[in-house]
Every structure is written in structure tokens, then in C-alpha cells.
């Protein structure tokens, strides 16, 4: 099975992605990394999962009414990802920017498989996805992730808790069962695709220090694209 995820991409930019179950803290860490990169004078572009205007409303309606099959959801998310890749990831990579992506194709490899989609099929479906330069997997125990989520809000979201799978009528128990399975898939994915595992139970400061050191090492041979400056009505490097 041929996949672009198996070989380095040819673009001058760098792609940094984060993965992890809900409540792992990956979004917080990526946000801090993005600010650090910007303060270090790098040109950075941020993108996140399920954010394409092309199918976003369709996915929302499907989730709200629980009408779509796992395969249909997988195809819609792949369409969303393909649109993001074409318009929000490849252009900045080609221009030499650093792209920070909150979730990547590996999210589908974990979630879709748990919902019954065949692992090889979903990997083939995302065979067009370029390989990240750096992939972080923030690993966290289920109870820690659950506590973090409920510290910010009262209820769990329907699909976040895996309620569509009928694992339990109790959202919290369903979350534990569903996310435990997702966590097991992520462990396999991290090994398969060489993701860097971060202990997400460490302090925010400690985690950020670790990922900055890793990113800094990866950027030692990277030549950043300079910001354009306006000079006499003409933008120049």
C-alpha cells in the first residue's frame, strides 16, 4: 500500500502535528509552541481538525441527528482533511512556513477504527496526506483526561464520550470505555509512524520545555522564509 505518510515531503516548510485523546493537553502545548516560534521570528500557520468550511456543516448536522454510519463519517472527515491539506497546509509548506496542525490523519486512524472502519482501508483513504516533520503524541491516563475536560464544563459531548457506539448509557463510563480503546490505538499508531511520545501528566512547563528542545533540534537545518516588508509600495524579503 503506497502512502505519502511513508516518505519525507519535498517542501521547504516544516509540518509539526500533535495527537492525543481528548483532555490530553495537546492543544495547549501546540498553542504555546506556536507562540514561541512566532516570538523566535519564524513564520507560522495554524490549522486544526474538522475545520474545513466545505463539509463542516454537514458533519455537524450528521452528528447532531446521529444519522451517519462510521464509514460515511470517515469519508466526510477525509474530505474535510483533503480540503485542509490543499488550502491550509500545502500552500504554507510550499512557501517555506512552519505549519502547526492540531490533529492530523492519525486521528482518523484511531477514532475511525474504534468505530468499526478497517485499519487498512482508512490508511489507504488518507494515503495522500504528507508526512509530518515532527509528530507528537501526548499520552495521558483516562481519568486524568476526564478530570481535565470536566474542570472546564459540566457535560461531555455525545461523540466525545463515544455514546454513538452504545458502550454505556452513562456518559462518563462511555467516555472511559471509548477513550481507552482510542488510547490503545494511539499507542499502536505512535509505534507504526514514529510519533514522539510525551508524558502528558508532566507539568505544562516541563512538557513545553521538552517539545521546544525537540523542535529546535529539528530546525537546525531549516532556513526560514523571511517576512515580507513593504518598501515603496513593493513587498520585498
Query: What's the pLDDT at 13?
Result: 96
Asked whether 43 and 98 are in contact (CB, 8 A), the reply is yes
50-89 pLDDT, tens digit per residue, is 767 767 777 777 666 666 788 988 999 999 999 999 999 9
pLDDT digit string, tens, across residues 40-51? 999 999 999 876
Q: What is the pLDDT of residue 234?
A: 44
- Topology (CATH level 3) of domain 4-214: Rossmann fold (3.40.50)
The string of pLDDT tens digits covering residues 215-224 is: 999 999 888 7
Q: Is the pLDDT of residue 168 over 80?
A: yes
102-154 pLDDT per residue, tens = 999 999 999 999 999 999 999 999 999 999 999 999 999 999 999 999 987 88
Q: Is the pLDDT of residue 99 over 70?
A: yes
Q: Can you count the helices (H) and strands (E) in the chain? A: 9, 7
Distance of alpha carbon 111 from alpha carbon 182, whole angstroms:
6
pTM: 0.89
> Residue 227 has what pLDDT?
57
Mean pLDDT, rounded, of the chain:
90
Amino acid at each position: 500500500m503506497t502512502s505519502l505518510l511513508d516518505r519525507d515531503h519535498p517542501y521547504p516548510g516544516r509540518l509539526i502535528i500533535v495527537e492525543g485523546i481528548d483532555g490530553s493537553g495537546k492543544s495547549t502545548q501546540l498553542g504555546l509552541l506556536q507562540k514561541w516560534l512566532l516570538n523566535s521570528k519564524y513564520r507560522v500557520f495554524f490549522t486544526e481538525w474538522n475545520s474545513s468550511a466545505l463539509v463542516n456543516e454537514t458533519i455537524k448536522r450528521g452528528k447532531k441527528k446521529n444519522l451517519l454510519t462510521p464509514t460515511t463519517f470517515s469519508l466526510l472527515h477525509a474530505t474535510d482533511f483533503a480540503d485542509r491539506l490543499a488550502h491550509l497546509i500545502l500552500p504554507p509548506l510550499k512557501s517555506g512556513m512552519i505549519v502547526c496542525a492540531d490533529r492530523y490523519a492519525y486521528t482518523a486512524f484511531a477514532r475511525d477504527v474504534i468505530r468499526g472502519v478497517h485499519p487498512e482501508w482508512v490508511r489507504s483513504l488518507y494515503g495522500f496526506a504528507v508526512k509530518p516533520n515532527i509528530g507528537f503524541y501526548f499520552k495521558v491516563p483516562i481519568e486524568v483526561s476526564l478530570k481535565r475536560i470536566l474542570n472546564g464544563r459540566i457535560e461531555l459531548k455525545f461523540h466525545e464520550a463515544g455514546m454513538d457506539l452504545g458502550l454505556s448509557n452513562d456518559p462518563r463510563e462511555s467516555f472511559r470505555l471509548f477513550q481507552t480503546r482510542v488510547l490503545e490505538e494511539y499507542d499502536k499508531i505512535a509505534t507504526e509512524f514514529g510519533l514522539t511520545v510525551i508524558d502528558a501528566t508532566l507539568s505544562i512547563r516541563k512538557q513545553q520545555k521538552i517539545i521546544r528542545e525537540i523542535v529546535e533540534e529539528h530546525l537546525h537545518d531549516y532556513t526560514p522564509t523571511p517576512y515580507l516588508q513593504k518598501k515603496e509600495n513593493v513587498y520585498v524579503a
